Structure 1
Amino acid sequence: MSAAPRAEQDGDSGKGGGRKKLLLLALPLVLGGAGAGLWFGGILPPLLGMGPAPREAEGAAQAEAPRPPAFFDMPEIITNLNATGRRPVFVKLRSKLEIARAEDGVAIQAAMPRLLDLFQTYLRETRPEELRGSAGTHRLREELIARANIAVAPPAGSTQAAPRINDVLFVEILIQ
């Protein structure tokens, strides 16, 4: 009789041990999934003091709404390129500057002689083959943005905010 009760006890402990293992494995997975859902749902961070409360987040989003960009028309530039042949090669460039704030237009207008000088000087040193294709246009845009930001920068020691040129948009590029 002592052998039969032991067999029953071993069988019961085997089923109970499997259930315990399943419970020990499933419980952390369920809790982790619920925690991840609360975290990514945005419920848990404010409760833990890690983020702004939902009402504060809405107010901050409205206060930091991005401004639409402003555009500033540049005068047409016609200049010769650095060509190696006998025949001169000219470029005609019409562009617009994308600026961060519309009120920066006054500072850009004041810096227009410097802007035109830097643009023309760069274009005169550029070879016609450097402007070919989309890669050439992209390089030209990057160089003109850098030069435009240099031209509109306030003098050293000035306390005024520097206007920011975000992009140079080409309206027309003609190479002859």
Structure 2
Amino acid sequence: MAHEGEILWFSPEMRGVIPLDARFHIPHGLKKALRKRPFEIRWDTAFLEVMRGCADREETWIDARILDSYRGLHEMGFAHSVECWDAEGLQGGLYGVALGKVFFGESMFSRKTDASKIALVHLVERLRMHGFQLLDTQWLTPHLATFGAYEVPRDEYQELLRAALADLIRATNPSPPAVP
């Protein structure tokens, strides 16, 4: 997060995660909204616009430095956005970073009812389809709890993270050759 021009890293005692298994819950009212298909879902077509939508609030940690950093991650193929569009334009979405089999959700916003929630449902569907193991929300909020999000202690989170990054770690740190 950005604070007074610096980028700070946080490792909270308790970490928010959204389950990618059957524990993921879509609230009843949202199921009805999803059936109506109020938005066209797009991926990575307006990444910076999504970030700006997330930053458009009274207090935000998303400053110019964060925008530039995530733009670079997006250009490298690590940061992604899920967007909800209608005839009037971008109405909501979310963004985050994919690494290994982990998606680190950063922020979400809505200009119209349910837009960020619908983006989240589509994100979970895509993560499941691609075998992701962990959806990190950083913090647990009442809003995310309605989807089945829960907190895990830091040591348990680190184990989940290690498992979800295992293939990536092996690919970047191959075992040394055996000594004859």
- Shorter chain as normaliser: what TM range? under 0.3
Instruction: Determine which structure has more spread, i.e. the larger CA radius of gyration.
Output: 1
Relative to its length, the structure with more helix (as a share) is 1
TM-score by length of 2: 0.21
TM-score by length of 1: 0.21
Structure with more relative contact order (C-alpha pairs < 8 Å, separation 6 or more): 2
